[in-house]
């Protein structure tokens, strides 16, 4: 005879530890007289499975029977109730846009320069998006929310808007990977609503290469650390940040070894130093007392961007220190027969790609050393 509703509430209380059938696959497993758990035995795809329905007495007999019936109904409909419940358990709770951004950032930190500690990845969002919409559930972010968020900067700050849109797109993908119901086309739709940006490319002002020798020679009479740093920057065609934080420990046998953590590409870069560049370093060392940093401010800290560019501003020049990279690149192009790969490598740009980079592992140091010596000679030669 089939057992059905065999356990009453009173009987359940009086049962000792053991296993007791209620009927239709529902069992009460008692670990001791005062506690137990409900188990439903099912046959799924020809195999017997057990599905927990909760602890007794927290889950009453009536509730256990209802849960068992729901599971049997799912099974009749072709749904594995154990698998369905497992998926429901791992479903992520609703999170805000701010929380999703933070999670996306943490997941991508290893790919970012210095683990993104400078804040450049987050800043377009923390400045322009999260103050207004950071508390909005990420599942509620659609093209209309993105349009309102980006509209104030879409034309006025196009580069920032572009970065913010890209970060938001990555954030939505991250949320989708968590199992959240987000609109992965929201950024594409928002672009359509916002329209094409009125974007004009503004290059950093640079000094014409024909004017650079006279300017460089005007710096040679100064012993200011900031001027020495500017001379070193011009001679090496390096980025301002690379010069500001340069240390004597990075110099070895006439070569400046820039670690991957301090380059824009995230790759180690070697810079061959001309005799003129080494002379500048010698002057800087005597000025700063041979400290760890090459170029120290009077307060004993690394120079600021403003300190290096101030001399050019006082001279009434529109050009800025970073522009000397363009000056150098134009000089190389116009006055030398240097191969493209050497020209770009001198600026720390990656020129080899794919299979070629796997086999071509030279950084062309010797050829670049010749080029940098030619550049120094051009700067210092009096006409």
Are 204 and 215 contacting, i.e. CB atoms less than 8 angstroms apart?
no
Catalogue all structural domains in the chain, each as residue range(s) with its CATH number. Answer: 9-90 (3.30.160.390), 97-194 (1.10.150.130), 212-380 (1.10.443.10)
In angstroms, the Cα distances linking 155 to 68, 93, 103, 190, 226 are 59, 36, 29, 14, 36
Residue 70: how many other CB atoms lie within 10 Å: 13
- Per 3-state DSSP, what percentage of the chain is helix, strand, and coil (rounded to 5)? 55, 15, 35
Residue 372: how many other CB atoms lie within 10 Å: 21
Residue 25, helix vs strand vs coil: coil
Cβ-Cβ contacts under 8 Å for 290 (sequence gap 6 or more):
248
First to last CA, the chain: 114
Closest CA to 150 of 166, 170, 165, 172: 165
141: its two tokens? 């972010």
Cβ-Cβ contacts under 8 Å for 281 (sequence gap 6 or more):
232, 248, 251, 273, 294
Point out which residues pair with 48 in neighbouring strands: 43
Q: Exposed/middle/buried for 124, CB within 10 Å: 0-12, 13-18, 19+?
A: buried
Distance CA 25, CA 4 (A): 9
189: its two tokens? 């739709």
82: its two tokens? 């154990």
Q: What is the pLDDT of residue 117?
A: 66
Q: What is the pLDDT of residue 352?
A: 65
Q: pLDDT below 70 — which residues of the chain? A: 1-3, 88-93, 113-115, 117-118, 198-202, 288-291, 352-362, 382-383
Render pLDDT for 148-193 as a digit per residue (tens, 0 to 9). 999 999 988 888 999 999 999 999 999 999 888 899 999 999 999 9
Distance CA 125, CA 253 (A): 44
Q: What is the pLDDT of residue 161?
A: 92
In angstroms, the Cα distances linking 16 to 11, 30, 31, 32, 56 are 10, 7, 8, 6, 13
Render pLDDT for 54-109 as a digit per residue (tens, 0 to 9). 999 999 999 999 999 999 999 998 899 888 887 766 555 689 999 999 999 999 88
Q: What is the pLDDT of residue 232?
A: 96
Going edge to edge, which strands form the sheet with 18-23? 18-23, 26-32, 35-44, 47-56
Are 12 and 56 contacting, i.e. CB atoms less than 8 angstroms apart?
yes
* Cα angle value 24/28/34 (rounded, 5°): 160
Distance CA 191, CA 319 (A): 35
The DSSP output letter for 323 is G
Q: Exposed/middle/buried for 150, CB within 10 Å: 0-12, 13-18, 19+?
A: buried
Closest CA to 307 of 294, 296, 317: 296
Query: Where are any strands of DSSP class E within 34-169?
Result: 35-44, 47-56
Are 54 and 67 contacting, i.e. CB atoms less than 8 angstroms apart?
yes
The alpha carbon dihedral of 40, 41, 45, 47 has a sign of positive
């Amino acid at each position: 005879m089939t057992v059905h509703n065999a356990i009453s509430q009173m009987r359940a209380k009086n049962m000792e530890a053991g296993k007791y059938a209620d009927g239709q696959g529902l069992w009460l497993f008692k670990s001791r007289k005062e506690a137990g758990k409900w188990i439903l035995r099912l046959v799924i795809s020809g195999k017997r499975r057990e599905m927990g329905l909760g602890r007794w007495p927290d889950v009453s007999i009536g509730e256990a029977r209802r849960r068992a019936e729901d599971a049997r109904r799912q099974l009749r409909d072709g749904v594995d109730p154990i698998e369905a419940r497992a998926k429901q358990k791992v479903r992520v709770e609703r999170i805000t846009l701010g929380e999703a951004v933070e999670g996306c950032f943490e997941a991508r930190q290893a790919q970012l320069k210095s683990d993104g500690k400078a804040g450049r990845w987050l800043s377009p969002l923390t400045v322009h998006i999260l103050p207004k919409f950071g508390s909005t559930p990420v599942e509620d972010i659609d093209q209309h929310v993105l349009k309102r968020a980006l509209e104030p900067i879409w034309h006025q700050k196009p580069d920032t808007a572009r970065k913010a849109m890209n970060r938001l797109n990555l954030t939505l993908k991250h949320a989708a990977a968590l199992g959240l119901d987000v609109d992965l086309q929201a950024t594409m739709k928002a672009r359509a609503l916002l329209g094409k940006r009125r974007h004009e490319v503004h290059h950093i002002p640079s000094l014409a290469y024909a004017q650079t020798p006279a300017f460089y020679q005007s710096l040679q009479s100064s012993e200011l650390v900031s001027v020495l740093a500017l001379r070193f920057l011009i001679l090496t065609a390096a980025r301002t940040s690379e010069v500001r934080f340069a240390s004597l420990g990075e110099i070895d046998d006439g070569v400046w070894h820039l670690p991957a953590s301090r380059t824009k590409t995230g790759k180690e870069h070697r810079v061959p130093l001309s005799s003129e560049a080494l002379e500048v370093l010698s002057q800087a060392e005597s000025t700063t007392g041979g400290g760890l940093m090459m170029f120290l401010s009077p307060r004993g800290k690394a120079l600021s961007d403003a300190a290096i560019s101030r001399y050019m501003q006082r001279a009434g020049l529109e050009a800025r220190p970073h522009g000397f990279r363009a000056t150098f690149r134009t000089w190389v192009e116009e006055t030398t027969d240097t191969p493209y790969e050497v020209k770009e490598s001198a600026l720390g740009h990656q020129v080899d790609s794919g299979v070629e980079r796997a086999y071509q592992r030279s950084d062309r140091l010797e050829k670049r050393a010749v080029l940098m010596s030619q550049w120094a000679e051009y700067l210092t030669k009096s006409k």
